[in-house]
Amino acid sequence: MSEYIDYPDEDDPITFSPVVEEFLGDPGTSADVFSAVVAFVVELRENPFPHLSMPVPGRPGMHSAPLRRDLGLVEYVVDEATEPSAIYVSRILRAD
């Protein structure tokens, strides 16, 4: 599983892939999608398996979860071997 996770140097258990960082920093990202992603990250901080999160078949540790208001889908990896669980947000699929 560690092949997916770039363990952060800080205390933050959540790491974003370069694609997700670029997406969040893009001024063209709509405010609705941006706020839905931020709401999802807040949920992840409380629970690595938020409501409606599902494992991705054939990809150990990988999960997907819908964004609020059906604006897209987030794929992420959870490494439960660490305390707290390390989470790598790998991509965001927008519904548009």
What is the CATH code for 15-94? 3.30.2310
Closest to 36 in 3D by CA, of 46, 24, 27, 49: 24
Question: Whole-prediction pTM value?
Answer: 0.82
pLDDT band at residue 2, thresholds of 50, 70 and 90? very low
pLDDT score of 7 more than 90: no
For residue 89, is pLDDT > 70? yes
Q: Which of 60, 64, 9 is nearest to 40 (CA)?
A: 64
Residue with tokens 């790998």: 90
What residue ranges do the domains of the chain occupy? 15-94
Q: Read off the pLDDT of residues 12-43 as tens digits, 9 standing for 90 and up.
A: 889 999 999 999 999 999 999 999 999 999 99
DSSP code of residue 70 = G
